[in-house]
């Protein structure tokens, strides 16, 4: 019997599904409330970036969660959400995506989906809002990043069955969320994340954490989902926030 019981609120146009989910959470929405919009006028990305959200070009989705996890495990919500998107794209579109730490789904090194997890104080306690943006058509891609991003339709060559993708995604989030909160759920989530990410182990990366930037090789995840990166002098640096990009070796 699933623990999470999702309900979906649909909007034609909205500022941001994450902002609406926050407003609803503050009004007392139970966990499982999902917000979906055909377009966003103020789509938000990580690190204060914007997320371009033209009408019907992407899946713009947020869910309210009220996890019973210790606060230090909340970053795993992003990892479990990435796994849920990975599951849904495999099931509905036959797409094998790669998960890039911490929250992007890529195909052929190009970004297909981004995830923004935020928290909001409510009368019922702290809630987590997980926002997911999946590029469905090429119209979703800002021109400036067109060589770094792609869409489901560009990759599959087929129109996406949006309704089915949403249905399967909501189900996958419910399953992954229940699993995360079960005994051994954290270890399981980390194991599965590592199994579906080329970034987990042995990947040469460039890391930007504010003004601290360095290069190194990935060495798995900490128990809270932070990325372990070994620098050239053999030290392990723990990356909890920031930008991680792949470094191609020449020759
Ligand atoms: C990122 O990669 O920077 C995260 C992007 C997250 C975008 C989604 S679209 C639905 C939800 N609402 C928002 O305003 N942002 C997230």
- The domain ranges of the chain are 7-195, 201-246
Judged against a pLDDT cut of 50, whether residue 250 lies above it is answered with: no
Size (the chain), residues: 251
Asked whether this chain's domains 7-195 and 201-246 adopt the same fold, the reply is: no
Sheet holding 212-221, edge to edge: 236-239, 227-230, 212-221, 201-209, 243-246
Residue 43 and residue 60 in contact, taking contact as beta carbons nearer than 8 Å: yes
How many angstroms is it from 56 CA to the middle of ligand 1?
A: 15
Atom of ligand 1 lying closest to residue 17 CA: 12
Please choose, from the candidates 36, 32, 58, 195, the residue with its C-alpha nearest in 3D space to the C-alpha of residue 127. Answer: 32
Residue 97 and residue 86 in contact, taking contact as beta carbons nearer than 8 Å: yes
What average pLDDT does range 150-156 have in this prediction? 94
Q: Which two three-digit tokens encode residue 57?
A: 């070009």
Q: Which two three-digit tokens encode residue 121?
A: 């104080």
> Which residue is closest in CA terms to ligand 1's atom 11?
131
Q: What is the pairing mode between strands 104-107 and 98-100?
A: antiparallel
Task: Compute the distance between CA of residue 56 and CA of residue 160 in angstroms, rounded to an integer.
Answer: 11
Each residue's pLDDT tens digit, 96-113:
999 999 889 999 999 999
pLDDT band at 251 (very low <50, low <70, confident <90, very high): very low
Q: What is the pairing mode between strands 236-239 and 98-100?
A: unpaired
Atom of ligand 1 lying closest to residue 18 CA: 12
Pocket of ligand 1 (CB under 6 A): 16-18, 40, 43-46, 49, 51, 60-62, 103-104, 114-116, 131-133
Task: Compute the distance between CA of residue 180 and CA of residue 174 in angstroms, rounded to an integer.
Answer: 10
How many angstroms is it from 231 CA to the middle of ligand 1?
A: 31
- What kind and span of H or E run contains 21? helix 17-26
Judged against a pLDDT cut of 90, whether residue 3 lies above it is answered with: no
CATH topology of domain 7-195: BirA Bifunctional Protein; domain 2 (3.30.930)
Judged against a pLDDT cut of 90, whether residue 139 lies above it is answered with: no
> Which residue is closest in CA terms to ligand 1's atom 2?
114
Identify the residue whose tokens are 């989910």. 21
pLDDT band at 242 (very low <50, low <70, confident <90, very high): confident
Please choose, from the candidates 111, 81, 106, 82, the residue with its C-alpha nearest in 3D space to the C-alpha of residue 96. Answer: 106
CATH dotted code for 201-246? 2.30.30.100
- What kind and span of H or E run contains 64? strand 58-65
Within 69-224, residue ranges assigned H as helices are: 76-93, 152-156, 162-180, 185-195
Each residue's pLDDT tens digit, 201-239:
999 999 998 888 999 999 999 999 999 999 999 999 999
How many angstroms is it from 135 CA to the middle of ligand 1?
A: 11
How many angstroms is it from 43 CA to the middle of ligand 1?
A: 6
What average pLDDT does range 105-132 have in this prediction? 97
């Amino acid at each position: 019997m699933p623990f999470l019981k999702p309900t979906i609120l649909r909007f034609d146009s909205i500022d941001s599904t994450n902002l609406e989910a926050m407003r609803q959470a503050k009004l007392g929405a139970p966990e499982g409330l999902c917000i979906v919009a055909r377009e966003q006028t103020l789509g938000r990305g990580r690190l204060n970036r914007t997320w371009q959200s033209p009408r019907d070009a992407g899946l713009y989705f947020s869910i309210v969660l009220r996890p019973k996890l210790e606060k230090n495990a909340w970053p795993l919500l992003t990892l479990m959400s990435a796994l849920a998107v990975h599951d849904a794209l495999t099931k509905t579109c036959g797409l094998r995506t790669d998960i890039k730490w911490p929250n992007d789904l890529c195909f052929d090194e190009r970004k297909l989906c981004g995830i923004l997890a935020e928290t909001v104080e409510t009368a019922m306690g702290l809630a987590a809002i997980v926002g997911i943006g999946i590029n469905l058509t090429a119209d979703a891609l800002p021109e400036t990043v067109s060589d770094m991003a792609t869409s489901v339709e560009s990759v599959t060559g087929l129109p996406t069955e949006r309704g089915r993708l949403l249905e399967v995604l909501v189900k996958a989030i419910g399953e992954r969320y229940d699993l995360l909160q079960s005994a051994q759920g954290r270890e399981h989530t980390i194991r599965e994340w590592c199994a579906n990410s080329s970034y987990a182990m042995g990947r040469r990366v460039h890391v930007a954490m504010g003004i601290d930037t360095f290069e190194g090789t990935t060495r798995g995840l900490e128990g809270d989902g932070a990325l372990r990166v070994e620098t050239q002098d053999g030290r392990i640096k723990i990356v909890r926030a920031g930008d991680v990009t792949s470094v191609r070796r020449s020759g």
